[in-house]
């Protein structure tokens, strides 16, 4: 019933609009006399490095050109985690990202701060971007600039980025969208990491729906791999866990089929006192297990700090 749905949505909108972060989350009693510390669960770093090593062997053998492997970190906290507090912390720490919270099954909240927009469609104009290739932020302006310059000239990172950019352009062309893009990427500087970024735009054929574009783009090589049909089946085998909502799409569209979808990365699934954090890295020729582990650590730190500070 559209009327009932509209009433529910409006009621949720009003509740969120009136929420005061300073007062905490209502109706969420906390255990008494328990410390707020986070207790790490078994580490996934060695499993991740083994998976990267195996993927590099497969890349060397010509099985595929790129595959994105994620790892998880499980946390348990004495007190219940507060998703809205975490969301607010992510908004404040990473204003250049898309902060999101999505209610999953069984009271689970899927929450994160993603730098990656899959697609935006408005009045026949589509916007997307290729984001791939990463390096940390520097301790000062000189170090930061040096790291950024090195990223812009990194053969490994430029190759990884080109896989993503070219794949997006090919898939847009398959539904009649002539993509306009740059030959060389820019730097996307976030609070804790720098990425290579190439904006991609184009005009859509009449009647194109946002989901028509999502269907051909998702998953991009930034979260999947290339060739897609070869790399994707290997992800679950190599990772050894179910991604759940990680790397799925979050967003909305209107009755005209216009809207925006982001990719749910740099994310966590939170359920009461438990949380599972996710972060991934693109594996290409030239990658190393230790290097990719460091990249995932860099990405996980953002979520970890938001969870431990709330």
Residues annotated catalytic, as ranges: 66, 116
What is the greatest pairwise CA distance in the chain? Answer: 61
Q: Give the pairing type, strands 259-263 and 267-271.
A: unpaired
Distances (CA, A) of 71 to 55, 135, 173, 185: 14, 18, 33, 27
Q: What number of residues does the chain have?
A: 310
Three-class secondary structure assignment of 250-301: EEEECCCCCEEEEECCCEEEEECCEEEEEEEEEECCCCCHHHHHHHHHHHHH
Which residues, other chains included, contact 230 with Cβ-Cβ below 8 Å and sequence gap of 6+? 63, 64
Q: Residue 128: helix, strand or coil by DSSP?
A: strand
């Amino acid at each position: 019933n559209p009327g009932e749905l509209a009433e529910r949505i409006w009621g949720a909108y009003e509740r969120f609009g009136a929420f005061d972060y300073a007062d905490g989350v209502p109706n969420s009693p906390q255990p008494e006399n328990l410390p707020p510390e986070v207790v790490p669960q078994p580490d996934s770093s060695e499993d991740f490095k083994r998976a990267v090593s195996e993927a590099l062997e497969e890349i060397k053998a010509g099985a595929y050109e790129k595959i994105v492997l994620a790892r998880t970190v499980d946390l348990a906290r004495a007190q219940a985690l507060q998703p809205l507090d975490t969301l607010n912390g992510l908004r404040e720490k990473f204003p250049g990202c898309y902060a999101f919270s999505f209610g999953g099954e069984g009271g689970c909240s899927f929450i994160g701060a993603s730098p990656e927009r899959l697609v935006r469609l408005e009045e026949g104009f589509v916007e997307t971007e290729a984001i791939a290739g990463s390096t940390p932020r520097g301790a000062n302006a000189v170090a930061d600039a040096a790291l950024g310059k090195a990223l812009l000239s990194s053969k490994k990172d430029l190759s990884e980025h080109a896989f993503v950019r070219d794949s997006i352009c090919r898939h847009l062309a398959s539904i009649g969208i002539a993509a306009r893009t740059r030959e060389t990427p820019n730097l996307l500087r976030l609070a804790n990491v720098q990425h290579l970024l190439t904006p991609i735009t184009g005009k859509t054929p009449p009647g194109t729906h946002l989901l028509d574009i999502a269907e051909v783009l998702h998953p991009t090589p930034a979260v999947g791999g290339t060739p897609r049909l070869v790399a994707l089946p290997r992800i679950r085998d190599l990772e050894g866990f179910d991604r759940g909502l990680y790397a799925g799409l979050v967003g909305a569209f209107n009755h005209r089929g216009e809207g925006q979808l982001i990719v749910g990365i740099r994310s966590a699934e939170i359920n009461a006192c438990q949380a599972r954090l996710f972060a991934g890295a693109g594996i290409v020729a030239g990658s190393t297990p230790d290097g990719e582990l460091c990249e995932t650590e860099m990405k996980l730190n953002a979520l970890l700090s938001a969870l431990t500070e709330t």
